[in-house]
Amino acid sequence: MSAILVFGASCLDYIAQVNHFPQPDEKLRTNSLTICGGGNAGNTATCLSRLGIKLTLVTKIGNDLNGEKILQGFQEEKNIDTSLILIRSAVTSQLTYIIVDIESKTRTCLYSANNEQMLIDDINPQWLNEINFIHFDSRSTEAAVRLAKLAKEKSILCSLDIERERPFLSELVPLMDYIITTENYSRNVCKDSTLIHTAVRFLETCRFVIITCGANGSILVEKFNKNSFDEVKKNADHE
């Protein structure tokens, strides 16, 4: 088993590239159609694998045709250990339809969530043997809290990707060492006036925060020590 564990959702993506976003009742020809594995945890695992980083993926899929395609895609990645992927007959594998609009440089996702997330009873403490880092994608959050607490008992570093408000996030966030979130989350969920205010909010409990800003890139705010955090907090209060 690898030293990194990625925990969260995976799905099958249908990615259609179009010249412009379709109007209501419009028929629109696609420039291309790609079918591939996806999902936040799945994408993270694939990216790490292609960077040459070995990891173990924990996700739940159905024992169905889409689940077979998802699993096959991960098995074709030479650096992903798929031995802990949970396959359940009662689960319907998740699908996502993605419209990539060339004109506006945006992507729109339409997804059908699977009918069962990972559960607390699915968590196995033995997963953490030889693990020194876990990445969570903020799905299956109740189960994620359980796994993160076990990780903290072993001093395992944890990161969390937050896109939207979900149940149990208030319990999960304080268990994280690193937070990755979005400009939209800062504005629409945190209701903060600046990205720095959002960073300060998370730095109360974590080491650094990354906030992605779409085409404008991203920012990283790191807490080196208490004095540096106090300085960032003071600057945020004066903005």
Q: Is 231 within a domain?
A: no
Helices (H) and strands (E) in the chain, counts: 7, 14
CATH classification of the domain holding 46? 3.40.1190.20
Say if 132 falls within a structural domain. yes
223 versus 198: the higher-pLDDT residue is 198
If one compares 194 and 237, the residue with the highest pLDDT of the two is 194
Question: Does a structural domain hold residue 208?
Answer: no
30 lies in a domain?
no
The predicted structure's pLDDT at residue 235: 60
Range of the domain at 137: 4-10+40-92+116-176
Asked whether the CA dihedral 106, 75, 154, 122 is positive or negative, the reply is positive
Q: What is the pLDDT of residues 102-161, one digit of tens each?
A: 999 899 999 887 778 899 999 999 999 999 999 999 999 999 999 999 999 999 999 999
Residue 159 domain flag: yes
Is 122 inside any structural domain? yes
Instruction: List Cβ neighbours of 9 (8 Å cut-off, separation of 6 or more).
Output: 39, 40, 41, 42, 59, 94, 114, 117, 137, 139, 140
How many domains does the structure of the chain reveal?
1
Could you tell me the two tokens for 13?
A: 């993506």
- pLDDT the model gives residue 97: 95
Instruction: Evaluate whether 178 touches 195 at the Cβ level (below 8 Å).
Output: no
| Mean pLDDT of the 155-174 span | 95
**Which residue type occupies 191?**
K
